[in-house]
Amino acid sequence: MNKKKAIYPGSFDPPTNGHIDIINRGLTIFDTIVVSVIVNPSKDALFSVEERKEMLHSVYNSNPAVEIDSFEGLLVDYASQKGANTILRGLRAVSDFEYEFQMALMNRKLNPEIKSVYLMPSPEFTFLSSSIVKEVCSLGGDISCLVPTAVEKQLKKKFL
């Protein structure tokens, strides 16, 4: 039986309920999803790669269909190494579409065997981004409905 495996790449700084929504809905399409934190030394992240992986593990530690990992380099090379032929991404708004369209075309040029699949988040998460969550938390706002509990605790530790 041919298992369907997808890579869901992102910075996940921090993981939000929007990310979780895409992963959970992706699991209805794919047998396995590799949630992979992109290592980008030029980006000023609030959390280390290991902290972000830990937060994702806290949500999916008992789900064998979700693998948490990290990578640097070309996404299509990483997907091939992991035995995945699909990249899973979320699309929130038209502004996401332009960037994602360019990336999908470049990935297709680099490796035509790798496909891109896009899921729109559930309506309650269409506005949600890691940047908004960090800003709201830093200003003392309630983020309990925006992130998993373990992520909320980590954010509060960083900002309080």
Q: Catalytic residue numbers?
A: 19, 43, 92, 130
Distance CA 121, CA 155 (A): 23
Distance CA 55, CA 155 (A): 10
Distance CA 4, CA 135 (A): 37
Give the Cα separation of 121 and 26 in Å (integer).
11
The C-alpha angle 100, 104, 109, rounded to 5 degrees, equals 150
Distance CA 45, CA 36 (A): 15
The Cα–Cα gap between 109 and 101 comes to: 12
| Nearest residue to 70 (alpha-carbon basis) of 95, 90, 45 | 45
